[in-house]
Amino acid sequence: MTQHDNKHDAPGADISRRRFIRAAGGLAAATAAGPALAQAPSADAAPARTLPFLIGRMGDTLLARGNRRRVVICGGGWGGVTAAKYLRQYAPELEVVLLERNPVFFSCPMSNKWLVDQVDVQFLTHDYLAVSEKYDYRFIQTEILEIERERKTVITAAGRLAYDYLILAPGIRYNYEAWFANDRRMAEATRARFPAAYIPYAEHFHLKNALQSFKGGDLVMTLPPPPQRCPPSPYERACLIASMFKQKNIPGRIIILDHKDGVRPIGPGFRAAFEELYKDIITYVPNARIEEIDPFKKEIRTEAGDFRFDHAILMAPHQAGDLAWKAGVVPAPGSGRPGGWADVDPLFLHDRNDKDVYVIGDAVGFVSPHFAFYPKAGHVANRHARIVARYIAEREAGREPSYILPDNLCYMMVNTAPQEGISVQFDYKVNAEGIIEQTQMDFNERTPDTVPEDFNWARLIYADMFT
Ligand SMILES: Cc1cc2nc3c(=O)[nH]c(=O)nc-3n(C[C@H](O)[C@H](O)[C@H](O)COP(=O)(O)OP(=O)(O)OC[C@H]3O[C@@H](n4cnc5c(N)ncnc54)[C@H](O)[C@@H]3O)c2cc1C
């Protein structure tokens, strides 16, 4: 036992308290007599520490092993934060550690409504500390740097920690390389000036400020090729910004440059909104595959024509988040497997070659020859998390898990005065050949009734993650 241990590692509260007093005494001595006295001998902390205990370095042991098996969850977004809670419920004997870089949870779902002042920021943000205390898992706010699969170790900016099971929930990254190859300056300028606001949460504040100071002119949105995070949400965003322009009499035009040949999903519903509500504001351009973008000159060349813009929301293609690449779950080029996303077992969501490494949420790759990828949705990430928590609990109980499939439900607001929305639902089943099949139902009719359903969905799913 070392002073790195915590209440979860301790076999009894007495020992934990003794350690606390000893550690506190060590720190007091260090303060009084200089740092050297704080270096209590420790098998876990090599080399000898010269810093106060809670200032970690990547070479330090972040959490020493106790006598419980440990699940480390990388990424505390929609998937990760749900997985932490459900693991504690399904397998209370496990130690659960959630690692996340952000201090606060910021929800991408419902954020389009926040951009145009239909909800306030309190609706989108949630407290990691309260929920981790309530369900007794460790939330550690830190940057995850590397994953050493061969040593079953995660390296963070605050230290390293070992795992028995790893859950990767890193979300997405922008593949700016597809636009700019290795030109870092172009990629950085694009993100800094015209961020997509598809990764929480600094970009969202930038975009909101830009929209609020937009006085008119051409606002261009480039839409990425599939698979992408929440495919209907760029169209929702266009409708809501157009609705705001209408309400505030802003002489703006929104030009949607879509990589695809048509609006999907809920295509007829969105097209009806474009034509019936925003005819003079939204211009939809299909097959506008990007050939060149210049964030300095504000110019875009596409297969469907060239465009100049006053402001833009530039969405580069999406891929699995950086961590999935660092963990080695994204197939290398030339491997014969679909690239860019995590290569998982379609039913059990573990890495194809490593049953102790699970991937959940948007980072999950190809799962079916019928529909290729699950929709990259918070709803699916939440379901993946609960499913994987169940799989791990079953394995810990010595049972072989049976597969469980997700579902998906997505509401899109298309008008703010009055508030109206459309929606889409997905269900899954495994067919006789063992392949996952998808049923999709689009609800294209624009109705006010969809809006309370949308808010109810959000409240329920936030409650599922945070209360
Ligand atoms: C505008 C918009 C609208 C949307 N609307 C809906 C909707 O209505 N319904 C719906 O279901 N979905 C919607 N989505 C999609 C939804 O946001 C995503 O599908 C969901 O967030 C995926 O969850 P995830 O856990 O895979 O990734 P995320 O929620 O992105 O979580 C990943 C987490 O990992 C953390 N992380 C990554 N790398 C590191 C690192 N190195 N160190 C530490 N932490 C790290 C990130 O900070 C982040 O918190 C919408 C998305 C957008 C952008």
For residues 385-389, average pLDDT:
98
Domain parsing of the chain, residue ranges: 1-55, 56-171+321-405, 176-317
Residues 421 and 243 sit within 8 Å (Cβ to Cβ): no
Alpha carbon distance 269, 273 (integer Å): 6
Q: Which of 316, 314, 317, 323 is nearest to 77 (CA)?
A: 323
- Distance from CA of residue 109 to its chain's centroid? 11
Q: List, in order, residues 6 or more apart from 14 with CB less than 8 Å away.
A: none
pLDDT classification of 43: cutoffs 50, 70, 90: very low
Residue 46 pLDDT > 80, yes or no? no
Angle, CA 299 vertex, CA 294 and CA 302 arms, to 5°: 95
Residue 2 pLDDT > 80, yes or no? no
Chain position carrying tokens 């036992």: 1
Alpha carbon distance 462, 447 (integer Å): 24
The residue contributing the CA closest to ligand 1 atom 7 is 109
Q: What is the pLDDT of residue 20?
A: 42
Q: How far is the CA of 53 from the centre of ligand 1 (A)?
A: 32
Q: How far is the CA of 235 from the centre of ligand 1 (A)?
A: 18
Query: From the CB of 278, is ligand 1 less than 6 Å away?
Result: no
- Could you tell me the sign of the dihedral formed by the alpha carbons of 252, 257, 263, 266, in that order? negative
Which residue has better confidence, 1 or 433?
433
Alpha carbon distance 149, 323 (integer Å): 12
Angle, CA 319 vertex, CA 318 and CA 324 arms, to 5°: 150
Q: Which of 75, 89, 55, 66 is nearest to 7 (CA)?
A: 66
Tokens of 416: 């703010």
The residue contributing the CA closest to ligand 1 atom 27 is 171
Q: How far is the CA of 201 from the centre of ligand 1 (A)?
A: 10
Residue 462 pLDDT > 70, yes or no? yes
Give helix 233-248 / helix 267-277 axis angle, nearest 10°. Answer: 10
Residues 140 and 154 sit within 8 Å (Cβ to Cβ): no
Q: How far is the CA of 108 from the centre of ligand 1 (A)?
A: 6
Alpha carbon distance 458, 126 (integer Å): 12
Other beta carbons less than 10 A from residue 94's beta carbon: 20
Tokens of 22: 């000893």
Q: CA distances (Å), 150 to each of 48, 166, 212, 325, 356, in order?
A: 25, 12, 49, 15, 12
Q: What is the pLDDT of residue 44?
A: 47
Ligand 1 pocket mutation, candidates 58, 62, 74, 78, criterion most atoms within 8 A of CB: 78
Q: Does domain 176-317 have CATH number 3.10.129.10?
A: no
- Could you tell me the sign of the dihedral formed by the alpha carbons of 115, 120, 121, 127, in that order? negative
Alpha carbon distance 204, 290 (integer Å): 23
For 100-124, the pLDDT digits (tens) are: 999 999 999 999 999 999 999 999 9
Ligand 1 pocket mutation, candidates 208, 230, 358, 456, criterion most atoms within 8 A of CB: 230
Alpha carbon distance 27, 35 (integer Å): 9
Residues 216 and 251 sit within 8 Å (Cβ to Cβ): yes
Q: CA distances (Å), 29 to each of 6, 23, 144, in order?
A: 21, 10, 32
Q: How far is the CA of 261 from the centre of ligand 1 (A)?
A: 26
Fold equal for 56-171+321-405 and 176-317: yes
For residues 443-449, average pLDDT:
98
Q: What is the pLDDT of residue 47?
A: 54
Q: Which of 211, 234, 244, 212 is nearest to 417 (CA)?
A: 244
Residue 82 pLDDT > 80, yes or no? yes
For residues 270-296, average pLDDT:
98
Query: From the CB of 461, is ligand 1 less than 6 Å away?
Result: no
For 340-374, the pLDDT digits (tens) are: 999 999 999 999 999 999 999 999 999 999 999 99
Which residue has better confidence, 389 or 46?
389
Residue 16 pLDDT > 80, yes or no? no
3-state secondary structure of 374: coil
Q: What is the pLDDT of residue 50?
A: 80
Q: How far is the CA of 426 from the centre of ligand 1 (A)?
A: 19
For 177-189, the pLDDT digits (tens) are: 999 999 999 999 9
Ligand 1 pocket mutation, candidates 82, 101, 105, 108, criterion most atoms within 8 A of CB: 108
Q: How far is the CA of 362 from the centre of ligand 1 (A)?
A: 7
Q: List, in order, residues 6 or more apart from 54 with CB less than 8 Å away.
A: none
pLDDT classification of 9: cutoffs 50, 70, 90: very low
Determine the topology of domain 56-171+321-405 in CATH. FAD/NAD(P)-binding domain (3.50.50)
Q: How far is the CA of 439 from the centre of ligand 1 (A)?
A: 24
The residue contributing the CA closest to ligand 1 atom 15 is 377
